[in-house]
Amino acid sequence: MASTESGNPIEPVYGPRDLTGWDPEVKLGEPGAYPYTRGIYPTMYTGKPWTMRQYAGFGTAAESNARYRRLIDAGGTGLSVAFDLPTQMGHDSDAPLAHGEVGKVGVAVDSLDDMRALFAGIPLDRVSTSMTINAPAALLLLLYQLVAEEQGIAGDRLTGTVQNDILKEYIARGTYIFPPGPSLRLTADTFRYCRAEIPRWNTISISGYHMAEAGASPAQEVAFTLADGIAYVRTALAAGMHVDEFAPRLSFFFVARTTLLEEVAKFRAARRIWARVMREEFGARDPKSQMLRFHTQTAGVQLTAQQPELNLVRVAVQALAAVLGGTQSLHTNSFDEAIALPTEKAARLALRTQQVLAHETDVPHTADPFAGSYAVERMTDGVEEAALALMRRVEDLGGAVAAIEAGFQKAEIERNAYRIARETDAGGRVVVGVNRFALDEEEPYEPLRVDPAIEERQREALARLRAERDGAAVAAALGALRRAAEGADNVLYPMKEALRARATVGEVCTTLRGVWGAYEPVGSTW
């Protein structure tokens, strides 16, 4: 018998017997109404489609800026910024640890100068920008705000999302800087700062995507992501905020796999669980606090370097799952990403995939098309039941942070990844072009390559910046930041002044490391 990615059996036929005890008034409801199983808006895409947000960034800020402009010209309605690994880890491009990684998996941003170049000629009050950045998320958001101010745009006109989800870094991804305690403080400071200064900004995108890429099942993805969300809510409440002050700006980030039916069920189950947690556990009364709003990215881990054109089909199916599941925004991966950074043609084809779904199919013309499907409703219940069981285990360990420190989530994900790998190696789980229908010889493909001279150009730019700027002003601003970090003041205000004075990302992060320390991972007790 076939089984879902979460390990539940898939019945050959579903019918009313599979929904015994199922009350549609309680579990299903209407689109736009609690518990939001059928979507968070009454009309969903019938008025306008989801935001088509293409993820891009490579090499220098100027090169990425050119790609952004072309994506906007091609019909993209939102930007999503990929940063290189040194930026994600809080290191400047001239740091020894950055050598060989500058501009490789995203754009290098060392200072306000780079952020200016990244968004040159792009009116920031007319685009919605998502930034995939976590440990130094506050810095990159402040740099973005400073560029907007230079364009004459006030903070209350900016829209977008900063990922800012540090807990999943300890679970699945590893681009952390500080220990969990100070990291959560920085998250809470960002919540408070944005409520006052950038009120329309989504202050966090709580991510299951990276857990899924590490091997999490759909049920694990939902459970561990929502458990992290609960930890962020508790952090904000402990900092003195009221739940309805910040919860409407929380957002989530999930993967969409090729297993279309379970993915649709996953999104519906996640909305239902979150609505109940927010209302019943945290007493949220604003409906926007109860709504699980999420961005989706198609599954990079399912793309193959073998017969890469097949990835166009996979991405189309994955995108359809996200749309049928009710996503608010979507990034479609390029077919060549398993080989290298996507070429411009591949990125355009990825965007066109979304446009075909939005304009050539009838899927957007009705909300939650699978509502009442015996199969999808049973799978929705199954994902919900499995996710809630895992969430209870996290709570029994003392919550998400304590479970992370015990290595629980990481161990569970690794076990599932091993199970899937064994099934694939044995041929029970088919990957077309890899373990079945393979070619004797692959056709040649010329990938996009990043110019290795980028690192030297970034180093030269940093040398010029340090020579030109007011060194005393930078030192004074970093001193103010250090004192705020040592105390209880919101660190984003002195951080912004340091960045305005042209302190670098690495200098700001080094100042905070000097106060808060750096995180050292521990082995799992599981």
d(CA 433, CA 270): 32
Q: C-alpha dihedral over 458, 460, 464, 466, to 10 degrees?
A: 70
Sign of CA dihedral 346, 110, 96, 480: negative
Burial zone of 176 (CB within 10 Å; 0-12 exposed, 13-18 middle, 19+ buried): buried
Candidates 330, 342, 329, 298; CA nearest to 448 is 342
Task: With cut-offs at 50, 70 and 90, classify the pLDDT of residue 523.
Answer: low
The span from the CA of 503 to the CA of 136, in Å, is 14
Crossing angle for the helix pair 505-516 and 180-197, to the nearest 10 degrees? 130
Residue 427 CB-density burial (10 A; 0-12 exposed, 13-18 middle, 19+ buried): exposed
Token pair 């950045």: residue: 133
According to CATH, what is the number of the domain 49-362+373-425? 3.20.20.240
Residue 474 has pLDDT above 80, yes or no: yes
25 token code pair: 């008034």
For residue 524, pLDDT beyond 70: no
What percentage of the chain exceeds 70 in pLDDT?
A: 97
Percent of the chain at pLDDT exceeding 90: 81
Instruction: Give the mean model confidence (pLDDT) for residues 8-19.
Output: 86
Distance set, CA 340 to CA 297, 336, 398 (Å): 18, 7, 41
pLDDT digits 0-9 by tens, 243-266: 999 999 999 999 999 999 999 999
pLDDT of residue 415: 96
CB burial of 333-365 (b: ≥16 within 10 Å; e: otherwise) equals bbbbbbbbbbbeebbbbbbebbeebbeeeeebe
Quick one: average pLDDT of 294-299? 96
Helix (H) or strand (E) holding 417: helix 408-425
Nearest to 130 by CA among 144, 116, 120, 117: 144
Contact 208, 255 (CB under 8 A): yes
Question: 169 by DSSP, 3-state: which?
Answer: helix
Q: Which regions of 33-167 does DSSP assign to beta strands (E)?
A: 51-56, 78-82, 128-132, 159-162
Please, what is the average pLDDT of the chain? Answer: 93
CA–CA separation, 387 vs 7, rounded Å?
Answer: 12
pLDDT digits (tens, 9 = 90+) for 353-410: 999 999 999 999 999 999 999 999 999 999 999 999 999 999 999 999 999 999 999 9
Full-model pTM: 0.90
Between 395 and 74, the more confident residue is: 395
CB atoms within 10 A of CB 238: 10
Report how far residue 170's alpha carbon sits from residue 399's, in angstroms, rounded to the nearest whole number: 14
Are 223 and 214 spatial neighbours (Cβ–Cβ below 8 Å)? no
Using alpha carbons only, how large is the chain's radius of gyration in Å?
23
Predicted confidence at residue 59, as pLDDT, reads 75
pLDDT in tens, 45-61: 999 999 998 766 677 89
More confident position, 520 or 524: 520
Mean pLDDT of 441-448: 78
Higher per-residue pLDDT: 442 or 235: 235
> What pLDDT sits at residue 525?
61
- In this model, does residue 287 exceed pLDDT 80? yes
Contact 306, 365 (CB under 8 A): no
Of 133, 139, 83, 90, which is closest to residue 496 (Cα–Cα)?
Answer: 139
pLDDT, tens digit, 9 for 90 and up, residues 414-437: 999 999 999 999 999 999 999 999
So what's the pLDDT on residue 14? 85
Residues pairing with 206 in the sheet: 252
> Which position has the higher pLDDT, 11 or 149?
149
**pLDDT score of 522 more than 90:** no
**Res 136: pLDDT:** 97
**Within the chain, which residue ranges are assigned CATH 3.20.20.240?**
49-362+373-425
Q: Please give the sequence-ordered ranges of beta strands (E in DSSP) within 393-506, or none if there are none.
A: none
